[in-house]
Amino acid sequence: MDESEVREDILDGIGLVCFDLFGTLVEITDRRRPFVSLRRHMALDKVEKMRRLAMTTDLALEEIDEAIRGGATVAKIVAARTDIAHEVASSRLRTGVPQMLSALPVPYGICSNLSTDYVPAIQRFAELKPAFTIMSCEVGYMKPDPEIYELVVAAAGVPRNKILFIGDTPSADIDGPRGAGMRAIHVDQFLSAWR
């Protein structure tokens, strides 16, 4: 089976492709891990609350820290903001993504777990022209919450079994979409069919 046959097989019966964003279409070339210093001395339940608030609200870092009583210093908040800015500035489209998107025979959308500080990254790339974007920080749900996949189905305008979800995180981008009745594959498998 040659590459074009593999592509046709993957897209057989598909009416829309839904991509994750970071790690799938976009990569960060200068990883700073800004949340690590904020959560270093936190109990696990606070770490999970911080993650959920960061991904499902538009709260600023200091508001999140206050809400969970995380105890971060001003210096740590400033350092985290600086690290986030560096990560956003260092983001780029993965190799092969522009060519793949321009050759994609069906429309595509984007559904991503994202804190509000990372949303500007999507606006940096004119090559990204999704039919819709569903960002966790804007809709109040995050993958693998079942509700976020229902938003994808509603936005897609095609039956759920005709949606192909592509991402890099098994629980969020493979298992979650499949549980919602969509097809799903890992981004590396998908991109290899386009090389």
Q: How confident is the model at residue 186 (pLDDT cuts 50, 70, 90)?
A: very high
Q: For residue 191, which of 124, 66, 98 has the smallest C-alpha distance?
A: 98
In order of 19, 66, 130, the CA distances from 23 in angstroms are 10, 30, 17
Q: What integer pLDDT is reported at residue 27 of this predicted model?
A: 96
- How confident is the model over 122-129, as a mean pLDDT? 91
Angle (nearest 5°) at CA 188 between 21 and 17: 50
Q: Which residues on neighbouring strands pair with residue 165, listed in sequence order?
A: 18, 184
Residues 99 and 168 in one domain: yes
CATH of the domain at 165: 3.40.50.1000
pLDDT tens column, 15-59: 999 999 999 999 999 999 998 888 887 888 999 999 999 999 999
Number of domains within the chain: 2
pLDDT tens column, 66-101: 999 999 999 999 999 999 999 999 999 999 999 999
Residues 20 and 111 in one domain: yes
Q: How confident is the model at residue 3 (pLDDT cuts 50, 70, 90)?
A: low
What is the helix (H) or strand (E) element at residue 123, kind and residue range?
Answer: helix 120-123
Query: Global pTM?
Result: 0.93
Residue 190 three-state SS: helix
| The pLDDT of residue 1 is above 90 | no
Enclosing domain of residue 112: 3-26+93-192
Residues 83 and 110 in one domain: no
